[in-house]
Amino acid sequence: MVVTGIYYALFLTGAGALLGWFTKPWAGIPFYILACFCLWFFRDPDRTIPTGDVAVSPADGKVVLIKRKPESTRVCIFLNVFDVHVNRSPIAGKVIDVQYKPGKFLVASKEEASTENEMNTITVDGHGTVITFSQIAGLIARRIVCYKKPGDFVTAGERVGLIKFGSRVDITFGPEWEIAVQEGQRVSAGSSVIAKLVKGRKP
């Protein structure tokens, strides 16, 4: 459970109790329902992290786009409001850059969200291979949380942040990676393999 969810739930429960006290006892029921939703939304289940030369999904959700270029491949994962919103590092390594960029709040499933929306981009150097992934805000998601800073070391599948209430995560791989997912496939943060490192391929 993400601590933020507990704070939201306590606030809503208190508001519901006050409303019920000063009006009708049943008037606070909608607030209690919202409090339960917050506890469920901010769930943070443990995951079994795969080992080996693989990259795991940084987010729960659906792969909505795989865009290939000669020098890189971008995999885009859309998170709806019902998905777990805790983000994880795809690989082990050193965080070499964290860049926040303000922007719009377009529907996260649209391709232009990758360039126009508010986002936080994290770059990890995994001992010779560099991966960049972006936490992207959406129409409902208006708050990006990042736990890491440049110089921090992360393990594969380690929790690195959170996007609140619907969002998207884009991850960019170099040519040394072979993509292991397809568009339309659902993935789970930390446990789904989305790419495999191909020995002999140069970054």
Residue 202 in domain: no
* 133 in Cβ contact with 122 (< 8 Å): yes
Residue 47 in domain: no
Contacts of 100 (CB under 8 A, 6+ apart): 119, 120, 121, 144, 146
Residue 2 has pLDDT above 60, yes or no: yes
Check residue 41 and give its pLDDT. 73
Greatest alpha-carbon pair distance for the chain in Å reads 70
pTM for this model (two decimals): 0.85
Host domain of residue 181: 54-197
Q: How many domains does the chain have?
A: 2
114 is catalytic: no
- One domain for residues 102 and 159: yes
Residue 65 in domain: yes
- One domain for residues 87 and 161: yes
Check residue 27 and give its pLDDT. 87
- In this prediction, residues 140-149 reach a mean pLDDT of 82
- One domain for residues 140 and 113: yes
Residue (of 145, 136, 132) closest to 96 by Cα position: 132
The residue from 114, 134, 167, 192 that is catalytic is 167
Q: Is 28 exposed, middle or buried (0-12, 13-18, 19+ CB in 10 A)?
A: buried
Residues 15-52: tens digit of each pLDDT: 888 888 889 888 888 888 888 877 777 788 899 999 99
- One domain for residues 100 and 192: yes
pLDDT category at 137 given cuts 50, 70, 90 is: confident
pLDDT category at 183 given cuts 50, 70, 90 is: very high
- One domain for residues 80 and 169: yes
Residue 157 in domain: yes
- One domain for residues 190 and 97: yes
